[in-house]
Amino acid sequence: MLITHDTRCSLDVVVDLVNTAPEDDTAQDGLPDVAALKDFVRNHDMSDVGVLSEFDLSAVRRVRGRFAGIFAAQDARVAAGMINELVAAAGTTPQLTDHDGYDWHVHYFAPGASVADHLAADCGMALAFFVVAGEQERLRRCEAPDCRRAFVDLSRNRSRRYCDSRTCGNRLHVAAYRARRKESAS
């Protein structure tokens, strides 16, 4: 599957956004306030974002929840319906642009769109490309029982199981190894 640079950037943004959501009532929200949203926008080099407010924070959290639903969708038809609603609500307006030293690429959000609509349009379209290509199953959650972070499996054979093989994957492999050693020692 060919993934353009701007699509890859949007995938990184949507994964990072989904992963800011608290997993349960005891976990802290990764977007606790407007300052954190400003940092998120800055860290992801999002262009055309104006002054951010509590309203924007609330809207981004709602969009984040909808993206989490797409990652949890059981099949492409469900994911497609969710993406269609999200992108339509954002008022998608595709336009070619070559700003800030980047070559030509497509922005799907309307000029002057809110940060939530910006995220919904650009990230929603990036996810739509996966559904269109028949690759919706690449939108995954980490299989580590204590993690469940979102990620996009870009491995050639679609075999990635963990958000990070050096942390979650390695931790589970070490635990399994120790359990086998303990069992063989008994």
The 3-class secondary structure across the chain, one letter per residue, is CCCCHHHHHHHHHHHHHHCCCCCCCCCCCCCCCHHHHHHHHHHCCCCCCCCCCHHHHHHHHHHHHHHHHHHHCCCHHHHHHHHHHHHHHCCCCCEEECCCCCCCEEECCCCCCCHHHHHHHHHHHHHHHHHHCCCHHHEEECCCCCCCCEEECCCCCCCCCCCCHHHHHHHHHHHHHHHHHHHHHC
- Predicted local distance difference test score (pLDDT) of residue 24: 77
pLDDT band at 175 (very low <50, low <70, confident <90, very high): low
- Predicted local distance difference test score (pLDDT) of residue 50: 86
- Average pLDDT over every residue of 131-146: 91
Residue 173 has pLDDT above 70, yes or no: no
- Predicted local distance difference test score (pLDDT) of residue 59: 97
Residue 44 has pLDDT above 80, yes or no: yes
Which of 58, 54, 23, 52 has the alpha carbon at shortest distance from 39? 52
Return d(Cα 7, Cα 123) in angstroms, integer: 8
Residue 75 has pLDDT above 70, yes or no: yes
Which of 52, 57, 69, 73 has the alpha carbon at shortest distance from 137? 73
Contact status, residue 120 vs residue 87, Cβ threshold 8 Å? yes
- By percentage, how much of the chain surpasses pLDDT 90? 57
- Average pLDDT over every residue of 148-166: 87
- Predicted local distance difference test score (pLDDT) of residue 165: 67
Contact status, residue 99 vs residue 29, Cβ threshold 8 Å? no
For residue 153, what are its two tokens? 């499996």
* Mean pLDDT for all residues in the chain: 89
Residue 83 has pLDDT above 90, yes or no: yes
- By percentage, how much of the chain surpasses pLDDT 70? 94
Q: Give the residue, 36 or 185, on which the prediction is more confident.
A: 36
- Average pLDDT over every residue of 56-67: 97
Q: Give the residue, 110 or 121, on which the prediction is more confident.
A: 121
Contact status, residue 71 vs residue 79, Cβ threshold 8 Å? no
For residue 29, what are its two tokens? 């929200």
Largest CA distance in the chain: 67
- Predicted local distance difference test score (pLDDT) of residue 148: 86
- Predicted local distance difference test score (pLDDT) of residue 170: 67
